[in-house]
């Protein structure tokens, strides 16, 4: 079974968390001070870039200090009602089993700003009355929705910084030792430096690069320097379209860190431009057609064993179609059109669907007619009449992001959101 190494090798005690010693020490002292009665600062606000160990520090500290940790995520405080549900927990220092308690509100960035009515005030109220330590975490402390937390008398504000590469290296080294992987130090240094202090992504890279291997050399990782996924795809395509043997072509599929459907699209899009002898192109396209048949069959029957044939035909099958010919001159690789249209508009489609659902809830229309018949009018209103737009925003309960989208820009959205406050 595969487990993510970020979970498997997650620090269990703060001694294992790399970097941010001062920040961690400050937090620890504050937590311990609760043993002598409720301190002035009822809450700590940890902030800093993603993947540097904010969440894991709190978890490890709770375990080190044998305290009970109650973790809440953004979805638990979308609304005031949900927040009041856990207000009671904060009113007692000891939990059910007599353990001292910490309440962690993680991923505060996900709390709505202006549009939300009452999430942040509800949280500050709980903190004011709290009898146990509350820890808040967000990436961007300076976001204006957090202004009420900027009071140093009431809140212990702690910044987490990116650990230096040497510290990240230490963590990666430990993981390799535990996993029994023989490594060249240069390889780990390279991964550590590339991560720029994001420990989570460094660990993920390490796992991806050592997949199924027990050693790691500098040459195994140096190509990452160009890790723009496209580059990987381009070398894969080169192997498939110009591979001299079946094996090299087949290996290409292992190399690609894209899924097979994606790889298929790339090969399908590019093959016609790289075979200039018609009979060879016919062979190549036939191989792709067979691969596609198997692909459909796998999807229908879930016989995963057939995937082997999909891979063989779309890689080796295409490579073997070439007799000797080579296109005259250099032919650039193209991005698959089908993926481009889908990926370009995906976030927008999700956003629009969300808006459609909210309109549906209020107006009892189908989502698609909400998008087709109502949204265009909303756009006109949001672009020209911020006051009316503000009213509608409340009525439909649109989020900030949704208002941005409908208003067609952050500046206009700001005006609308301001009108609500």
Ligand X SMILES: Nc1ncnc2c1ncn2[C@@H]1O[C@H](COP(=O)(O)OP(=O)(O)O)[C@@H](O)[C@H]1O
- Residues near Mg ion (CB under 5 A) are 55
The reply to whether 379 sits near ligand X by the rule CB under 6 A is no
Binding residue for ligand X (CB under 6 A) from 42, 47, 54, 145? 54
Binding residue for ligand X (CB under 6 A) from 200, 238, 358, 414? 200
Question: Is the Cβ of residue 67 or residue 316 nearer to ligand X in the bound state?
Answer: 67
Binding residue for ligand X (CB under 6 A) from 34, 44, 51, 134? 51
Question: Is the Cβ of residue 168 or residue 359 nearer to ligand X in the bound state?
Answer: 168
* String of contacts with ligand X for each residue 101-130, x by CB under 6 A: ------------------------------
Quote the strand ranges of 2-108, DSSP E. Answer: 43-47, 68-72, 101-105
Q: Supply angle C-alpha 142, 144, 150, rounded to 5.
A: 60
Q: Which of Mg ion, ligand X, none does 295 bind, CB closer than 5 to 8 A by kind?
A: none
- Which range, of 199-207, 211-219, 242-250, 357-365, touches ligand X by CB under 6 A? 199-207
**Structural tokens at position 340:** 């481009």
| Least distance between ligand X and beta carbon 162 (Å) | 9
Assess contact for 401 and 111: CB atoms under 8 A: no
Q: Which of Mg ion, ligand X, none does 173 bind, CB closer than 5 to 8 A by kind?
A: none
Assess contact for 92 and 127: CB atoms under 8 A: no
The reply to whether 163 sits near ligand X by the rule CB under 6 A is yes
Binding residue for ligand X (CB under 6 A) from 45, 47, 53, 263? 53
Kind and range of the H or E run holding 354? helix 337-363
- The residues with which 216 forms a beta bridge, in sequence order, are 183
| Least distance between Mg ion and beta carbon 48 (Å) | 10
The reply to whether 56 sits near ligand X by the rule CB under 6 A is yes
Q: What span, in angstroms and rounded, lies between the C-alpha atoms of 50 and 199?
A: 9
- Which range, of 17-25, 188-196, 234-242, 361-369, touches ligand X by CB under 6 A? 17-25
Q: Which of Mg ion, ligand X, none does 171 bind, CB closer than 5 to 8 A by kind?
A: ligand X
Q: Which of Mg ion, ligand X, none does 53 bind, CB closer than 5 to 8 A by kind?
A: ligand X
Question: Is the Cβ of residue 16 or residue 292 nearer to ligand X in the bound state?
Answer: 16
| Pairing mode, strands 68-72 and 215-216 | unpaired
Question: Is the Cβ of residue 200 or residue 297 nearer to ligand X in the bound state?
Answer: 200
- Which range, of 10-18, 211-219, 233-241, 394-402, touches ligand X by CB under 6 A? 10-18
Assess contact for 135 and 43: CB atoms under 8 A: yes
Q: What span, in angstroms and rounded, lies between the C-alpha atoms of 255 and 240?
A: 11
Q: Token match 């976001």: residue?
A: 143
Exposed, middle or buried: residue 401 (CB in 10 Å: 0-12, 13-18, 19+)?
Answer: middle
Longest Cα–Cα distance in the chain = 84
The reply to whether 19 sits near ligand X by the rule CB under 6 A is yes
List, as one string, the DSSP characters of 120-165.
HHHHHHHHHH-SS-EEEEES-TTSGGGGGG--TTTEEEEE--PPPH
The reply to whether 47 sits near ligand X by the rule CB under 6 A is no
Question: Is the Cβ of residue 52 or residue 256 nearer to ligand X in the bound state?
Answer: 52
| Pairing mode, strands 134-138 and 101-105 | parallel
| Least distance between ligand X and beta carbon 201 (Å) | 8
**Structural tokens at position 342:** 């889908």
Q: Which of ligand X, Mg ion, none does 17 bind, CB closer than 5 to 8 A by kind?
A: ligand X
Q: What span, in angstroms and rounded, lies between the C-alpha atoms of 372 and 356?
A: 9
Please count the other Cβ atoms lying within 10 Å of the Cβ belonging to residue 289. Answer: 12
| Pairing mode, strands 68-72 and 134-138 | unpaired
Question: Is the Cβ of residue 74 or residue 262 nearer to Mg ion in the bound state?
Answer: 74
Binding residue for ligand X (CB under 6 A) from 162, 171, 274, 352? 171
Q: What span, in angstroms and rounded, lies between the C-alpha atoms of 329 and 343?
A: 31
Question: Is the Cβ of residue 125 or residue 200 nearer to ligand X in the bound state?
Answer: 200
Residue nearest to Mg ion (CB): 55
Task: Report the interface residues with ligand X, using CB under 6 A.
Answer: 6, 9-11, 17-19, 50-56, 163, 171, 199-200, 203
């Amino acid at each position: 079974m595969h487990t993510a190494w970020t979970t498997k090798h997650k620090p269990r005690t703060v001694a294992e968390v790399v970097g941010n010693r001062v920040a961690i020490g400050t937090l620890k002292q504050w937590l311990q001070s609760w043993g002598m009665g409720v301190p002035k600062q009822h809450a700590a606000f940890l902030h800093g870039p993603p993947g540097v160990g904010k969440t894991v520090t709190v978890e490890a500290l709770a375990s080190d200090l044998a305290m009970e940790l109650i973790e809440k995520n953004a979805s638990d405080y979308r609304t005031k009602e949900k927040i009041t549900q856990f207000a009671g927990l904060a009113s007692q220092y000891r939990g059910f089993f007599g353990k001292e308690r910490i309440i962690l509100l993680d991923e505060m960035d996900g709390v709505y700003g202006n549009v939300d009515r009452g999430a942040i005030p509800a949280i500050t109220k709980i903190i004011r009355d709290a009898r146990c330590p509350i820890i808040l975490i967000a990436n961007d402390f300076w976001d204006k929705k957090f202004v009420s937390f900027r009071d140093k008398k009431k809140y212990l504000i702690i910044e987490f910084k990116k650990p230096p590469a040497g510290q990240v290296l230490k963590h990666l080294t430990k993981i390799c030792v535990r996993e029994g992987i023989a490594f060249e130090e240069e390889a780990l240094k390279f991964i550590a430096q590339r991560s720029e202090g994001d420990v989570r992504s460094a660990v993920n890279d390490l796992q991806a690069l050592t997949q199924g291997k027990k050693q790691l050399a500098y040459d195994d990782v140096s190509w990452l320097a160009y890790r723009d996924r496209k580059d990987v795809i381009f070398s894969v395509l080169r192997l498939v379209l110009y591979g001299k043997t079946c094996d090299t072509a087949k290996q290409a599929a292992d190399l690609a860190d894209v899924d097979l459907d994606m790889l298929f699209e790339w090969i399908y899009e590019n093959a016609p431009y790289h075979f200039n002898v018609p009979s060879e192109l016919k062979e190549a396209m036939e191989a792709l057609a067979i691969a596609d048949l198997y692909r459909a069959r796998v999807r229908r029957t879930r016989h995963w064993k057939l995937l082997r044939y999909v891979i063989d035909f779309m890689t080796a099958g295409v490579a073997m179609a070439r007799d000797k010919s080579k296109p005259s001159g250099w032919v650039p690789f193209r991005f698959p059109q089908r993926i481009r249209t889908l990926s370009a508009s995906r976030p927008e489609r999700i956003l629009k669907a969300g808006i459609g659902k909210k309109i549906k809830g209020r107006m009892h229309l189908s989502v698609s007619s909400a998008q087709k018949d109502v949204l265009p009018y909303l756009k006109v209103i949001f672009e020209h009449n911020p006051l009316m737009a503000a009213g509608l925003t409340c009525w439909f309960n649109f989020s900030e992001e949704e208002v941005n989208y409908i208003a067609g820009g952050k500046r206009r959205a700001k005006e609308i959101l301001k009108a609500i406050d």
